[in-house]
A and B are shown apart, each in its own frame.
Chain A
Amino acid sequence: MMNSKIMEIESLGPVLFAYSPRAKRISISIKDTKEIRVAVPLNAPLKSALKFVKLKENWIKRHLLKLNSESKIYLSKELKNKEESSTFIKNRLYELSQKYGLHFKKVTIRNQKTRWGSCSQKNNINLNINLIQIPQNLMDYVIVHELVHTVVKNHSYKFWNLLDQYIPNSRHVDKELKKFVLPK
């Protein structure tokens, strides 16, 4: 059963403790909205979660500061001309797949809330329709990122090295992408 509790922590403000059956260990995440969320495994006592947050106080503060200094761009919920947007993204995928000789099986364009793209074990690629709202170089980056996953399935150094051959300085581009927030 899922259970969550918001606790006020001195020097940090409200912190959400969310008991989750999927959590294997205590983990802290900071959302774009600056909400601090702590995922707690069902069998872990709240006390140890609190202790963990205290331990990581500086890390949390650092990340909150960073969030404040970065200006986020919130993408629009309303998309005009979805059909052509979808075609445009697909065509770009075909072009880049041809250009780099990275082959995939099938492509689906979706309106996803959390991911820009994904690549399945079977090399089916999913791309987010909101890619139409971000600069072309970032759209290309996401597409090539997924195409590289047809060769390397994880995010190991091998993956980034390969990606770098197509998109120089890919980690930096990845950071650029983080500025854009998908519509909720």
Chain B
Amino acid sequence: MKKIKALLVDLDGTIYQNGKLIDNTLITIQKLNKNNFPFRFITNNTRKSRQSICLYLRKLGLIIDESYIYTTMYAAINYCKKNNLKKIKIISLTDEYKNDVSDIDIVESKPDAIILGDLSEKFNYYKLNEIFIELQQGAKLIALHKNRYWLKNNNITLDLGPFVSLLEYASNQQATVIGKPNKKFFEIAAHDFKMDYANIAVIGDDIESDVIGSINTGMQGVLVKTGKYIEEQVEKSKIKPNYIIDSFSHITKNLFNDEF
């Protein structure tokens, strides 16, 4: 294994859990800062802007710069800029995304691309048809993620994925999916590091989106035993994490050879 020289760190379940920082998180971040060790945070959260997430973390006591946070919406907008997609239509449940948008032309009709976020129960025939027509007229479809379902109050509920598939089928185009475990997200978040992907490790509690996603991108995948970690899932998985550690703070043993 190549030496780890930078970190991409998942948030929910890795840094915090149930409204609290996971033990020793603060001291670990302080160590990274003291050693000028580059790191960024990555999250598949589609409803919160990086601004809100930054303020939330500060409330928990983690004082970091907003620019350290990569959300799927921010990455999607970044992707549009890089690919010269100038007029963007954004489909989102809240207008939180407005905090993350700059130097981009938000339009209601005739977009170059549509960024499809979560609309949950607000998805209906008219809305989908409206998007479909724009796609037929040449707009590119960019989806924040393609998860099939999620658990809402312990009940299985449709997620964004099925709607993405519906629109792909109707418009006969493949959506560009941005969120974890897709390569693009890791690539956009790692852009600042300017280093070989093999030297970058992704730390998270989700074997599929964090670990397998990062390994497929050519980075190292580190699984933490906090958050939604389930041992059986790791055993079943064909792709194994490069490292499994008890919690985020244990990464310092690998990086600086010290322990708490």
Residues of A that sit less than 8 Å from B by CB: 76, 80-81, 84-85, 87-88, 132-136
Q: How far is the CA of A132 from the CA of B56 in the complex (A)?
A: 11
Q: Closest residue to A86 on the B side, CB-wise? A: B63
A-B contact number at CB 8 A: 30
Report whether B60 and A80 are in contact in the complex, using a CB–CB cutoff of 8 Å.
Answer: yes
- B13-40 to A contact mask, C-beta < 8 Å, 1/0: 0000000000000100010000000000
Instruction: Beyond the given A81-B26, A136-B65, please list 13 additional residue pairs across the A-B interface where CB-CB is below 8 A.
Output: A81-B62, A81-B63, A84-B61, A84-B63, A85-B63, A88-B63, A133-B55, A133-B58, A134-B55, A135-B55, A135-B99, A136-B51, A136-B66
Closest Cβ of chain B to A89, distance in Å, is 9
B253 within 8 A of A: no
Closest Cβ of chain B to A1, distance in Å, is 43
Q: How far is the CA of A81 from the CA of B26 in the complex (A)?
A: 10
Closest Cβ of chain A to B171, distance in Å, is 37
Chain A residues with Cβ below 8 Å from B62 are 81
Report whether A136 and B63 are in contact in the complex, using a CB–CB cutoff of 8 Å.
Answer: no
Q: Report the contact-size class of chain B (Cβ under 8 Å from the partner).
A: 10 to 19
Closest 9 CB pairs of A and B: A80-B61, A81-B61, A84-B63, A136-B66, A88-B63, A135-B51, A85-B63, A132-B58, A81-B63
Closest Cβ of chain B to A112, distance in Å, is 18
Residues of B that sit less than 8 Å from A by CB: 26, 30, 51, 54-55, 58-63, 65-66, 99
Chain B residues with Cβ below 8 Å from A136 are 51, 54, 65-66
Chain A residues with Cβ below 8 Å from B65 are 136
Chain A residues with Cβ below 8 Å from B55 are 133-135
Chain B residues with Cβ below 8 Å from A76 are 59
Report whether B58 and A85 are in contact in the complex, using a CB–CB cutoff of 8 Å.
Answer: yes
Chain B residues with Cβ below 8 Å from A133 are 55, 58-59
Closest Cβ of chain A to B9, distance in Å, is 18
A-B contacts, 29 of them at CB < 8 A, read A80-B59, A80-B60, A80-B61, A81-B26, A81-B61, A81-B62, A81-B63, A84-B30, A84-B61, A84-B63, A85-B58, A85-B63, A87-B63, A88-B63, A132-B58, A132-B63, A133-B55, A133-B58, A133-B59, A134-B55, A135-B51, A135-B54, A135-B55, A135-B66, A135-B99, A136-B51, A136-B54, A136-B65, A136-B66
